[in-house]
Amino acid sequence: MAYQNVGTPRFYINHFSKEINPTTINTYSAEAFTYSFDLKPNYVMLLGTSSGLQITADIHNTLVEKVNYYIEGLGGGFSLAGYALMDYTTASTSGTLTITGDLAELVVGRYYDMPHSPDLSLSMSHEYEGIKTITTKGGSTLSNTNYYKPAKWGDREAWQLGDFPYYYSGRRSWDLSFSYISDTDIEPYSYYGNKYTDDSSEEGTDNWFQNVLYYTMGGHLPFIFCPDPSIEYYSDGSNPPRVPEFAICRFDMNSFQREQVSNTIYTIKIKIVESW
């Protein structure tokens, strides 16, 4: 799927530093970052990178490229890696990442995929609340722009890869509705963390509350939103790359309601707004 359509959305939750602010580039010299989570991570994302960045992962799994992880041909920007053997028997909740080079933000955590794609009645918009326009007494139009896109990550636009241009404009937002969501996909079996009775090999089934709402504090903390993770990354280094769409976002809601449509089946609506 392309053209900024929404497939089955993915929420990348940052369990490492909670906040996500990649506007300041830092230089590291073989600096080690340790982490310890109560959920097993399944991705590592590097934001605001430069050519030559090196990362060594002292963890139980092998990191594999998802987007620009090996920094080949694109000269930096951002990178995404996952785990080759992400399962509950070999994964680790703790580890060390050693970084050498320029980097703005290290994001490590666990992503959550919605059970299925949203309803057809969705909307996506570009908002320009940072532009103020007035009409003078003489009828002239005056416009002042405080912002119309996020700040750059170093010398590149947010989510730009290498020297290929990234045409950023406005604050993106999504209004999504999901029908026929099972109760087990919305809430945990128990708020005490109890497993399902038949969970012999897993530490619990992923669900909306446990994996997203809890760790974002219902909208207080940002996350990285990917409307369609099924788009496969591709780059030959000489042409613009094919990359899934990403955005640093927050929930723009005061409450999260679910409407029951049948026994154990619900509908939920969410509004997601790009944040910087």
Residue 123 pLDDT exceeds 60: yes
Domain that holds residue 208: 10-124+148-274
Is 142 a domain residue? no
CA–CA separation, 99 and 32 (whole Å): 6
pLDDT at 237: 83
Is 77 a domain residue? yes
Is 133 a domain residue? no
pLDDT at 86: 47
pTM for this structure? 0.90
Is 208 a domain residue? yes
Q: Confidence band (pLDDT; 50, 70, 90) for 72?
A: low
Cβ pair 8, 229 in contact under 8 A: yes
pLDDT at 201: 45
Q: Confidence band (pLDDT; 50, 70, 90) for 84?
A: low
pLDDT at 36: 83
How many residues belong to the chain?
276
Rounded average pLDDT over 11-39: 88
Is 174 a domain residue? yes
Q: Confidence band (pLDDT; 50, 70, 90) for 180?
A: very high
Which tens digit of pLDDT belongs to each residue from 188-237? 888 886 655 454 444 557 899 999 999 999 989 999 999 999 999 998 88
Rounded average pLDDT over 253-264: 92
Nearest-5° Cα angle at 191, 188 to 197: 60
pLDDT at 193: 67
Q: How many helices (H) and strands (E) does the chain have?
A: 3, 15
Domain count, the chain: 1
Is 259 a domain residue? yes
Is 140 a domain residue? no
CA–CA separation, 70 and 72 (whole Å): 5
Tokens of 178: 């999901």
Tokens of 171: 């604050």
Rg of the chain over CA atoms, in angstroms?
A: 20
Is 98 a domain residue? yes
Residue 198 makes CB contacts below 8 A (sequence gap 6+) with none
Residue 204 makes CB contacts below 8 A (sequence gap 6+) with 188, 189, 193, 195, 196, 210
Rounded average pLDDT over 144-164: 91
